[in-house]
Amino acid sequence: MKLNDENLKIAIQRQGRLAEPSRQILKSIGLDFEYHQGRLFSPCQNFPLDILFLRDDDIPEYVQDGVTDLGIVGLNIVQEKAAEVVRLDCLGFGSCTLSIAVPQKSSFRTVYDLEGRRIATSHPRVLQRFLEEKKVSARVIEISGSVEITPSLDISDAICDLVSTGSTLRINDLEPIEVVLKSEALLIANPRSLKDSRRRQLMERLRVRFQGNIRARRTKYVMMNAPREALEEIKEILPGMKSPTVVPLAEEGMVAIHSAVPEEVFWDVIERLTKTGASDILVVPIEKMVM
């Protein structure tokens, strides 16, 4: 099987924390492809797209060099590689922080306490830039893996590594003291591909799907019953896309109201709705949302 030169190409992580979510989001936007462990690429059956499965560190450079048109990769890797790519969309998964952590029993409490100390990391470029901004002179030690063990081996006094839940730090008797970078999965593009009218058109078709998926995951569909007299007040509360759907009920003076509510204000909206007399509130997830 060979790659089709006419097809759009996207690189995603082969293994690691973004691998499964990246495959899932591609499936969720309707792309039909096969994945098997060890497979390096897979063509889509229902879209002119080839999917390449790569090491996360390689993705920004593959996109920069035009080997692939698009890539899904963490912001931390994009900044570490300093690749010349276009950041298109934040994809709403893979959230983590690149943080400086120190031994729990140490006296270090801020990054300024690490003046003249050793910090081990797999993100030397990002860390060095952060230290320069803070005007802290520390020795950055580049480590490709198992960064957490370096303080106990007296290789470093502190580490700078990705933190999701913090459980790995706790297991190794470490605690975070400074956030260097907040990261999540990004959709990135090759600048030259964006200038090619055909490839740009295909990328825009994919972005509509990605954005519909992102909006759906950040929104809840709310259905409720309410007194008709409270309708205007409820319309003021609901931050939906447009006017909510209102349906008369068999019970005199009551209506059913349907609306989409953003996740970040969901509970505040629900509390305010109940005070208007809204009842029987049903909340369901949204699979897709195309504006």
Those residues whose C-beta lies under 8 Å from the C-beta of residue 61, and which sit 6 or more positions away, are 81, 83
Asked if 61 and 202 sit in the same domain, the reply is yes
pLDDT, residue 288, reads: 72
- Looking at the fold, whether 247 and 122 belong to one and the same domain comes out as no
pLDDT at residue 5, as a whole number: 79
Q: Which residue range forms the structural domain that includes residue 252?
A: 219-285
Spatial strand order of the sheet with 86-90 comes to 41-43, 49-54, 8-13, 70-74, 185-189, 86-90
pLDDT of residue 26: 96
Q: 31: pLDDT confidence band, cut at 50, 70 and 90?
A: very high
Condensed to tens digits (0 to 9), the pLDDT of residues 241-281 reads: 567 889 999 888 999 999 888 888 889 999 999 999 999 99
Burial 125-154 (b: 16+ CB within 10 A, else e): ebbebbbeebebebebbebeeebbebbeee
* CA distances in angstroms from 64 to 11, 85, 111, 191, 194, listed in the order given: 12, 5, 33, 8, 12
Q: Are residues 162 and 39 in the same domain?
A: no
Q: What is the CATH number of the domain that holds 31?
A: 3.40.190.10
Amino acid at 286: I
How confident is the model at residue 2, as a pLDDT?
A: 66
Arithmetic mean of pLDDT, 24-43: 90
Q: How far apart are CA 42 and CA 203, in angstroms?
A: 18
107 in the same domain as 136: yes
Q: Are residues 172 and 105 in the same domain?
A: yes
- Is the predicted pLDDT of residue 208 greater than 70, yes or no? yes
Are both 69 and 211 inside the same structural domain? yes
User: What mean pLDDT value characterizes the chain?
Assistant: 92
Statement to judge: residues 86 and 121 lie in one domain: no
Query: In this structure, are 24 and 132 located in the same domain?
Result: no
pLDDT tens for 81-140 read: 999 999 999 999 999 999 999 999 999 999 999 999 999 999 999 999 999 999 999 999
- Average of per-residue pLDDT across 6-24: 94
In a domain, 122, yes or no: yes
Domain count, the chain: 3
pTM of the complete model? 0.84
Asked, for residue 3, whether it belongs to a domain, the answer is: no
Do 64 and 196 sit in the same domain of this protein?
A: yes
